[in-house]
Chains A and B, each alone.
Chain A
Amino acid sequence: MLEQNFIGMLRGESAPWSRRRTTSYLIRRTVLYVFAIGGACIYALPLFLMIGTSLKAPMELYVRPYQWFPATPQWQNYVQAWTAFPFTRYLFNTLYVTIMSLTGAVISCSFAAYAFSRIRFPARKIFFALVLAAMMLPRDALFIPTYIIWWRLGAVGTYIPLWAPGWLGRGLSRIFLLRQFFRTIPVELEDSAKMDGCSAFQRFWSIIVPLSKPAIGVVMIFEFISNWNSFVSPLIYLKDPQMYTLNVGLNMFRDAFMEQFASMPNMHQFMAIATIIIMPVIIIFIFLQRYFVEGIQLSGINR
């Protein structure tokens, strides 16, 4: 891009609509900047409010005029909220489910993607068509029959329904993403390995996997986030409060106060826990945002 522009400038032919740096051009740029930055601020504002609220004293929650940030940050809100419920336990439960699911998703999705992109077998086209079709199906709406199936298998009340879908390749968009990526790897590499008598699994393990670490990383990020944020499945499958995940725990924390007060007097504490819950996601996003964008552009979906 840059190089092209440079050559164009040398030739004296810049893009036609930005030919002259006239006043109107400057106005256009300014307006663009104002809208871009203003919009970005509006988009970041709710999260800022959330963090600001988590540091407020109870009295500052609903004062007029609105207080953007507390006078003195109440860091003890975090400690109080965290210890009011067994959130440490919930954190480990969440980590357990997330890591289990993530491991499974990487294995199952990359296996399937490899089969769909590189191995020739008669059912391949049908299988891949099924993947594409299933991506268009409203699968989330089927959480009730899915519940019945897990109930039938005796898995209600355990963690299995939470992480097993990862192992069973439920993340179809992840399969699609990896397939698209595997297709960009030159076939010649594999052909020569095949000539040397490598089996399909050996080829996959020694050629494809090392070359597609970035794509697998994207899958891991997406899988982590979707599991970290999931709420409905833990809510319906887990029975023992000791097994709750962070999201369910936070919801229960709120319900405890709804029952008592029919109101939300300690919003600052909810916001503190909420901030803790979204922090890992934000940190991952800030450091790995390039992968997010690439992953979405490659597969089209971020779920």
Chain B
Amino acid sequence: MKNPRVKVSRLRLTGKTAFTEKLYTFFLGRDRLNRTDALWGYAFSAFWLGGFLLLTVGPFVVSLVMSFYRWPGYGPARFIGIHNYEWIFTKDRLFRQALSVTARFVFTAVPVRILVAFVVAWILSHKLAGVTVLRSMYYLPSVVTGVAVAFMWMYIFEAQNGPMNMLIRALGAKQSVGWLASPRWILPSFIIMETWTLGSSMIIILAGLKGVDRTLYESAHIDGAKGYHRLFHITLPMISPSLFYVFVIGFISAFQMLTMPLVIFGTGYQDVGGPMNRGLFYSLYLYNRAFQAGRMGYACALAWILFVIIVSITAVNFYFIGRKVYYEG
């Protein structure tokens, strides 16, 4: 093991005094031979650490501070205490509207999407010819996002003679549906859009399904278990980590959805969130307050509230559902 030729360390990172030694131990570890490496560890993390401080910790601090100010985004800011929060919780009806729109969307779209993703993944987990082509056809929609896709949906959901209305009329509907232009149909439209991008959930669930031990099914079959027994007692518990993961991530991202409603509703020529504000997603409201209404401080307070909501929902997910997840081994 001992090789005299090896130059163990170019730097001698040992403390001369007890205090510097303690400092070194704290930051670079007890093992003196490894301290150069440890220094490299910090160097390698530097990019990320800088970003973490600037773009993750920084915004939290900034939004907390700014939420006590009235500031249009330029010019001087004025300290107004907790007025922003007070107003949000006592008076702001748009805030409540935004919360209810977002909650309705999240609690319907995410489960629907995961259900469909599960069905698709289940179908694709069978040995079918051309399964890779099928898989990419399902996955493709989730790599194309942004304004282009928002326009595509605006065309498909056109209120009178759009393709979607042609379709439902062909299926026997008497009247065309307003879709994105009608308060009642905004939520269903967004659920359809969200379900279209199930690709990554599907892939993760598919990986989970493929990982299920086949012998479990065989022994279940020998025990005479029916199909749905297999589903509820083997498949679902075995892929519950994947499902849970998809669920948590789905919630977090659905709460923050911005691009679609911003392109579709946030044009400034109509009400903030579309007809009757039924498309007032929380992030869209944030955007409106910050950049269109000139209330940066107010928007910061809203951002903090959203942050608390998402984190607590994630925590609840972990606490109540995460406990039921079956982790093998």
Contact = CB atoms under 8 A, between A and B. Distances in A.
A35 to B, nearest CB: 6
B212 interface: no
A10 to B, nearest CB: 17
B218 interface: yes
Interface in A268-303: 270-271, 273-275, 277-278, 281-282, 285-286, 289, 292-293, 296-297, 300-303
A278 B48 CA distance: 30
Contacts of A145: 58-60, 62-63, 66, 300, 303
A231 B207 contact: no
10 contacts: A37-B134, A43-B138, A121-B42, A122-B29, A138-B307, A144-B303, A168-B50, A251-B147, A274-B147, A289-B136
Interface of A: 15-17, 32-33, 35-37, 39-41, 43-44, 46-47, 49-50, 53, 62-66, 107-109, 111-112, 114-116, 119-124, 127, 130-131, 134, 136-149, 151, 165, 167-170, 175, 195-197, 199-201, 204, 225, 228-232, 235-236, 247-248, 250-251, 254-255, 258-259, 262, 264, 267, 270-271, 273-275, 277-278, 281-282, 285-286, 289, 292-293, 296-297, 300-303
Contacts of A231: 146-147, 259, 262-263
A123 B42 contact: yes
Contacts of A17: 217, 221
A38 B47 CA distance: 47
The majority secondary structure among interface residues of chain A is helix
B144 A141 contact: no
Interface string B184-227: 00000000000010011001100100000010011001100000
Given A144-B296, A165-B55, A168-B55, A50 B147 contact: no
B138 A112 contact: no
Interface of B: 3, 6-8, 10, 26-29, 31, 34, 36-52, 54-56, 58-60, 62-63, 66, 73, 120, 123-124, 126, 128, 132, 134-149, 151-156, 158, 160-163, 166, 196, 199-200, 203-204, 207, 214, 217-218, 221-222, 245, 248-249, 252-253, 255-256, 258-259, 262-263, 267, 269, 282-283, 286-287, 290-291, 296, 299-300, 303, 306-307, 310-311, 314
B54 A278 contact: no
Contacts of B141: 43, 46-47
A64 B142 CA distance: 30
Contact of A65 (B27, B147, B166, B307): B166
A145 to B, nearest CB: 4
Contacts of A144: 63, 286, 290, 296, 299-300, 303
Contacts of B214: 15
Contact of A121 (B37, B222, B299): B37
A293 B139 contact: yes
Contacts of B290: 144, 147
A167 B136 contact: no
A265 B84 CA distance: 42
Contacts of A146: 55, 58-59
Given A229-B145, A300-B204, A66 B163 contact: yes
A301 B200 contact: yes
A235 B126 CA distance: 44
Identify the interface centre among B37, B148, B291: most chain A CB within 10 Å of its CB: B148
B300 to A, nearest CB: 6
Nearest to A197: B7
Contacts of B217: 15-17
A279 to B, nearest CB: 10
A249 to B, nearest CB: 9
Contacts of A169: 47-48, 50-52
B314 A136 contact: yes
Given A120-B37, A175-B48, A138 B161 contact: no
A36 B123 contact: yes
Contacts of B51: 108, 165, 167-170
Given A43-B141, A250-B151, 4 more contacts: A137-B311, A146-B55, A195-B3, A204-B44
Given A37-B134, A62-B161, A292 B152 contact: no
B262 A139 contact: no
B41 A200 contact: yes
Contacts of B126: 32
A112 B123 contact: no
A196 B185 CA distance: 68
A36 B128 contact: yes
A74 to B, nearest CB: 16
Contacts of B62: 145, 148-149
Identify the interface centre among B45, B63, B132: most chain A CB within 10 Å of its CB: B45
Nearest to A50: B152
B295 to A, nearest CB: 10
B163 A247 contact: no
User: Closest 8 A-B residue pairs measured CB to CB?
Assistant: A168-B51, A169-B48, A200-B40, A121-B41, A274-B148, A108-B47, A115-B44, A121-B38
